[in-house]
Amino acid sequence: MNVNSKNILKYINKINYKYNFILNESQFLSYIYHLNLLIFKLFKIYNNKKLSKQEKINMIYNLKDIDGNIFLTEIQAIYIYIIIMQKKLVIFTKKFIN
Kindly give, in sequence order, each residue whose CB lies less than 8 Å from that of residue 31, ignoring residues fewer than 6 positions away: 23, 66
Instruction: Quote the pLDDT of residue 83.
Output: 83
CA atoms within 13 A on the CB side of 5: 13
Q: What are the CA-CA distances from residue 83 to residues 4, 24, 70, 77, 80 (Å)?
A: 30, 34, 20, 10, 6
Stated pTM of the model: 0.72
Q: What is the DSSP letter of 18?
A: G
Q: What are the CA-CA distances from residue 92 to residues 30, 33, 38, 51 (Å)?
A: 23, 18, 14, 20
User: In which band, very low, low, confident or very high, does the pLDDT at 61 lie, cut at 50, 70 and 90?
Assistant: very high
For residue 97, pLDDT beyond 60: no
Instruction: Quote the pLDDT of residue 47.
Output: 85
88 or 74, greater pLDDT: 74
Q: How far apart are CA 13 and CA 40, in angstroms?
A: 26
Task: Tell me the mean pLDDT in the region 69-88.
Answer: 86
Mean pLDDT, rounded, of the chain: 86
Instruction: Quote the pLDDT of residue 92.
Output: 56
Query: Which has the minimum average pLDDT: 5-9, 61-65, 88-92?
Result: 88-92
